[in-house]
Amino acid sequence: MCRAIKMLHNFTPPATDEEIRASSLQFVRKRTLLASLVTAAPPRDRAAEAAKARARSAERFRRPA
């Protein structure tokens, strides 16, 4: 769905009213979709997720001994 949202800033020629309307409509639809999502999973802990990401990064970019 979000692939249809186009970058409209800093183009020559400027975006048309139709392009602006289409992109804004897609943006609103995306927000509505995200607001309607429901999960039964417990909430994740940001600190724990950050620690896992740091561990993955350290493993990925470790220097060979």
Instruction: Please indicate, yes or no, whether the overall pTM of this predicted structure exceeds 0.85.
Output: no
What pLDDT does 49 receive? 96
Q: Would you say residue 42 lies in a domain?
A: yes
Domain carrying residue 37: 2-60
Is residue 45 predicted with pLDDT exceeding 90?
A: yes
What pLDDT does 4 receive? 56
Number of independent structural domains in the chain: 1
Q: Is 50 exposed, middle or buried (0-12, 13-18, 19+ CB in 10 A)?
A: exposed
Q: Would you say residue 65 lies in a domain?
A: no
Give the model confidence (pLDDT) of 5-44 as tens digits: 667 888 889 989 998 898 889 889 988 998 999 999 999 9
What pLDDT does 1 receive? 46
What pLDDT does 17 receive? 93
- The DSSP output letter for 61 is T
Residue located via tokens 């993955």: 56
- Spatial separation of the C-alpha atoms in residues 59 and 65, rounded to whole Å: 13
